[in-house]
């Protein structure tokens, strides 16, 4: 297994640890000053999510630069992203931080795209993530980070930054899903 694929696998391993810090009732105290406080367990979850997100960028960069692109990487990298992002969004919906319908849209797109990838894989094709899908993932991760550090006093014209980023992520989720199916429609046509 090459270094890019090891980074992808490490991202998958970080997910349960991230969820323990986010969801488990761990009282580690709070950190912050100037009216900004954050439970330490949530701060650890936030930093772990950032590290996992950086591995997403890093594994792709290494794979392209060192010509280490593999079928395993093409399949597992987007899967690791989905697992990481979905675990955070589902947790936030359960915690009442974001609207469930937004999570349903994101989940539906991810399941539909994964289904299309599985159909393609059954025919011997591996479909890599497109550029719009990469932007979608980037904004989803930014939105999650902003929710993890939700007490940070940022906003745009009185509208919280985390909500702005979430709306951008949802819109890109819809657009990238439509783009993905349009560009790979021949896979569906062949499978009839």
What is the pLDDT at residue 83?
92
How far is residue 135's CA from residue 91's CA, in Å, rounded to a whole number? 22
CATH number at residue 9: 1.20.120
Give the span between the Cα atoms of 160 and 38, in whole angstroms: 17
CB–CB of 112/13 below 8 Å?
Answer: no
Q: Mean of the pLDDT values across residues 147-152?
A: 74
Per-residue pLDDT tens over the stretch 18-59: 999 999 866 665 555 555 556 788 888 999 999 999 998 888
Residue 98's domain comprises: 3-190
Q: What is the pLDDT of residue 142?
A: 93
pLDDT at residue 156 tops 60: no
Burial bucket for residue 161 (CB in 10 Å: 0-12, 13-18, 19+): middle
Radius of gyration (C-alpha) of the chain in whole angstroms: 18
Domain total in the chain: 1
Beta strand spans in 2-85 (E): 30-31, 38-39
Torsion of CA 117, 123, 128, 129, to 10 degrees: -20
């Amino acid at each position: 297994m090459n270094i890019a694929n090891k980074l992808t696998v490490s991202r998958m391993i970080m997910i349960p640890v991230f969820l323990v810090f986010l969801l488990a009732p761990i009282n580690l105290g709070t950190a912050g000053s100037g009216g900004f406080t954050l439970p330490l367990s949530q701060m650890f979850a936030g930093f772990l999510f950032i590290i996992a997100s950086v591995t997403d960028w890093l594994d792709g960069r290494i794979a392209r630069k060192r010509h280490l692109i593999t079928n395993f990487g093409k399949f597992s990298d987007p899967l690791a992203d989905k697992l990481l992002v979905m675990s955070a969004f589902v947790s936030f919906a359960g915690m009442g931080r974001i609207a469930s319908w937004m999570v349903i849209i994101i989940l539906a797109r991810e399941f539909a795209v994964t289904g299309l990838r599985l159909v393609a894989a059954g025919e011997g094709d591996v479909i890599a993530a497109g550029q719009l899908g990469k932007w979608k993932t980037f904004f989803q991760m930014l939105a999650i980070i902003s929710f993890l550090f939700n007490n940070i006093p940022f906003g745009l014209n009185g509208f919280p930054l985390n909500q702005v980023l979430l709306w951008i992520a949802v819109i890109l989720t819809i657009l990238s899903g439509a783009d993905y199916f349009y560009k790979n429609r021949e896979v569906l046509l062949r499978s009839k």
